[in-house]
Structure 1
Amino acid sequence: MKVRPRPADTEAKARRQRAVLDERTCRMICPVAAAMVGVCLTGIGLLRVVASVRGRETIADDLLSLDALLFLAATLASYIALRVQSHQRLHGLERIADAAFIAAMVLLTLACFVITYAISR
């Protein structure tokens, strides 16, 4: 005889699976975003060297500094999400971390285009 799971059991299992997925997402965003802050800082340093040698400023270092702030926001949101106990807060902080991370990656791509075309000319 096959026992069918009760709706409450199925719902609780789905909630646990979502929490595990959310935690895994936060665990991935936190170290990657933190490393990307370092990448942005390295890019700013290199652009400063190029600017002092060539005597030309670009907007790319400003974009990278803004980008570092977005990556920092993603890092902090994902870190705090890992520390909270409430599922509502976890989901809200995860959304913030996702949005900040995606916005930072788009801005980093834009900064790469600016760097490529500003330095090559």
Structure 2
Amino acid sequence: MPNNRSHLEEDICIHIFTVSASMVGVCLTVIGLLRVVIAIRQIDSFADDLLALTAILFLVSCLSSYWALRTRSKGRMHQVERFADVVFIIAMLLMVVACIIITFAVAIS
């Protein structure tokens, strides 16, 4: 049974790693698109700054999960994996806030 749990935890780390890396790209793409909209409509938004922060947090989560996958100590793997998970959730929540800001900024203008 411990082997199945270890495999499951490694599987979670792999998912955090791949999704976090993808989300960095998504954040950067949205920042680029948002900058184009800001230039065209002459509106300013805090959302691009918030998305830059989420991109950094997703990168921290990605690197942390990679570190968890590479570590040999199970105890350290659990700590680093938990950290990566918390940072990932915070980044997702901030991304939702950025989406709300973008929605209201576009709707108001």
TM-score, with normalisation over the residues of structure 2? 0.95
Match of 1:118 in 2: 105
Match of 1:37 in 2: 24
Match of 2:33 in 1: 46
Match of 1:3 in 2: none
Moved over 6 A (4+): none
Amino acid at match of 2:75: Q
Is 1:109 aligned to residue 96 of structure 2?
yes
- For 1:100 and 1:78, the matched residues in 2 are separated by 10
Q: Which of 1, 20, 26 is the matching residue for 2:7?
A: 20
For the pair shown, which has the larger CA radius of gyration, 1 or 2? 1
Amino acid at match of 1:46: L
| Percentage identity across paired residues of the two chains | 51
- For 1:118 and 1:95, the matched residues in 2 are separated by 35
Match of 2:46 in 1: 59
Q: Which has the higher helix share?
A: 2
Is 1:83 aligned to residue 88 of structure 2?
no
Match of 1:6 in 2: none
State the 1:18 CA deviation.
Answer: 2.7
TM-score, with normalisation over the residues of structure 1? 0.86
Unaligned runs of 5+ in 1: 1-12
Is 1:97 aligned to residue 97 of structure 2?
no
